[in-house]
């Protein structure tokens, strides 16, 4: 759907002025709604300050949003000498959202409210490197079962948000290439949408979904320039600049896992050699662990999954400890490179690998904190995400919700 410009040639000046007035009104309406979504519960004084709006304009917008049942009054803020102020919240029951995360061997599906809080979820496994058709059918079947189980109506669903690994064309809803899944040019939005008429489907990269959750529910409440790095089976990065995810030329910004750290190093699933992901994630355990196994006859390592290696390391297994130490050295250097490239306020670490962070976080910090900026007494915080695993699903839902409540001026052009 192409966005029509409201300021086409041939219009009289009066029409243009009325047109822009309408647009400004519309933009203010979304501004108010989104500040309530982000800072709820919030009173009028705070909204007016955040949106830079006068009392009468704000009153009009609040009445309108209340009548449309998009926001609700939820009591009053406690008095601190002055008058008590009414508090407003977003109406999370305005509709439902379906969120889907595609992983290497399973999909996780959830239905959420309009605050992106998970109401119910379901996991469905599949064989590694399954075809897109198989996985899409599992998604469709999973959505049907989840909606039915929770006794909800399809008319309540405002959209479906899908998160996947790989290079994604968000405008067209296409997974251009995912070397983890072994997929190329998969028109996933269209394939899913066919089965759910009129329900829009949105697609983005896993880590960007997690970062949307950080923006709306976590670090984004305080910071506008930060990075999110996910650690575990792979290595992901999302770049936040001025409260927005930076997408790059074709939407692929953040493939930091595929920057080269070892010349002629391990062959990566992406096709290159020596990628950071091969050294600073579970892949390192699989590559290096197998090489070293014969030198450690007493090692109890049975597999090279992240959590298995971490557990054995905690029990004192020498090989496991060596692998963790070396992996975290590469990770620390990778994060140092990120800090030097982006000068972020903070770097948030997330992902399943962080469940075992006590084994490596100190070492990673030691390396990452020794960077270009630290020598000029500028410190960069390295923090563990405070969100839990449901943040991925929240992110999938936020893809949909943010799109619905995006001010018209920011609407992206769909080709």
Q: In this structure, are residues 33 and 62 in contact, taking their beta carbons and an 8 Å threshold?
A: no
* Smaller CB separation from Zn ion, 77 or 259: 259
Quote the least distance from Cβ 379 to Zn ion, whole Å: 31
* Smaller CB separation from Zn ion, 23 or 270: 270
Burial of 214-238, coded b for 16+ CB within 10 Å and e otherwise, reads: bbbbbbbeebeebbbbbbbbbbbbb
Judged by the rule CB under 5 A, the positions of this chain that interact with Zn ion are 258, 268, 270, 272, 275
Closest CA to 71 of 112, 38, 49: 38
* Smaller CB separation from Zn ion, 70 or 180: 180
My answer on whether omega of the bond before 41 falls inside 30° of 0, hence cis, is yes
Quote the least distance from Cβ 248 to Zn ion, whole Å: 17
* Smaller CB separation from Zn ion, 144 or 262: 262
* Smaller CB separation from Zn ion, 77 or 272: 272
* Smaller CB separation from Zn ion, 257 or 353: 257
* Smaller CB separation from Zn ion, 94 or 283: 283
Distance CA 105, CA 280 (A): 21
Quote the least distance from Cβ 351 to Zn ion, whole Å: 17
Token output for 138: 């599992």
Quote the least distance from Cβ 236 to Zn ion, whole Å: 12
Q: How far is CA 276 from CA 138, 330, 334, in A?
A: 32, 7, 7
Helices 282-292, 306-314: axis angle to 10 degrees equals 60
Quote the least distance from Cβ 166 to Zn ion, whole Å: 12
Helices 55-67, 13-39: axis angle to 10 degrees equals 70
Q: How far is CA 387 from CA 230, 289, 303, 351, 383, in A?
A: 12, 31, 28, 10, 12
405 CB neighbour count, 10 Å cutoff: 16
Distance CA 96, CA 99 (A): 10
Quote the least distance from Cβ 246 to Zn ion, whole Å: 20
Quote the least distance from Cβ 259 to Zn ion, whole Å: 9
Distance CA 122, CA 90 (A): 26
Closest CA to 99 of 111, 81, 90, 82: 111
Quote the least distance from Cβ 363 to Zn ion, whole Å: 24
* Smaller CB separation from Zn ion, 262 or 409: 262
């Amino acid at each position: 759907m192409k966005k029509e410009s409201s300021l086409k040639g041939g219009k009289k000046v009066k029409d243009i002025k009325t047109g822009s007035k309408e647009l400004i009104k519309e933009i203010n309406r979304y501004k108010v709604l989104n500040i309530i979504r982000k800072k709820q519960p919030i009173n009028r004084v705070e909204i007016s300050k955040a949106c830079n709006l006068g009392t009468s304009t704000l009153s009009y917008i609040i009445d309108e949003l209340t009548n449309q049942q998009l926001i609700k009054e939820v009591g009053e803020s406690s008095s601190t000498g002055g008058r008590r102020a009414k508090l407003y919240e977003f109406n999370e029951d305005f509709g439902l959202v379906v969120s889907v995360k595609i992983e290497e061997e399973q999909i996780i599906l959830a239905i959420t409210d309009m605050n992106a809080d998970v109401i119910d979820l379901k996991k469905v496994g599949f064989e590694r490197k399954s075809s897109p058709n198989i996985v899409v059918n599992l998604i469709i079947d999973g959505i049907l079962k989840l909606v039915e189980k929770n006794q909800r109506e399809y008319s309540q669903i405002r959209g479906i948000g899908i998160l996947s690994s790989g290079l994604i064309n968000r405008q067209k809803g296409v997974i251009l290439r995912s070397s983890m899944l072994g997929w190329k040019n998969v028109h996933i939005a269209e394939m899913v949408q066919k089965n759910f008429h009129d329900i829009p489907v949105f697609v983005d990269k896993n880590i960007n979904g997690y970062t949307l959750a950080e923006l709306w529910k976590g670090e984004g409440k305080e910071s506008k320039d930060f990075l999110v790095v996910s650690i575990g089976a792979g290595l992901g990065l999302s770049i936040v600049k001025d409260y927005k995810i930076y997408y790059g030329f074709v939407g692929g910004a953040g493939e930091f896992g595929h920057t080269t750290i070892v010349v002629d190093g391990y062959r990566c699933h992406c096709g290159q050699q020596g990628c950071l992901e091969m050294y600073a994630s579970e892949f390192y355990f699989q590559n290096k662990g197998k090489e070293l196994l014969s030198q450690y006859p007493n090692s109890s390592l049975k597999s090279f999954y992240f959590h298995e290696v971490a557990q054995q390391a905690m029990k004192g297994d020498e090989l496991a400890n060596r692998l963790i130490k070396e992996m975290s050295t590469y990770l620390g250097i990778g994060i140092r490179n990120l800090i030097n490239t982006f000068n972020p306020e903070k770097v948030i670490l997330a992902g399943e690998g962080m469940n075992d962070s006590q084994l490596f976080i100190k070492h990673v910090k030691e390396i990452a904190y020794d960077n270009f900026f630290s020598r000029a007494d500028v410190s960069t915080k390295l923090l563990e995400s405070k969100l839990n695993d449901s943040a991925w699903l929240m992110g999938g839902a936020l893809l949909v919700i943010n799109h619905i409540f995006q001010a018209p001026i920011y609407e992206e052009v769909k080709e």
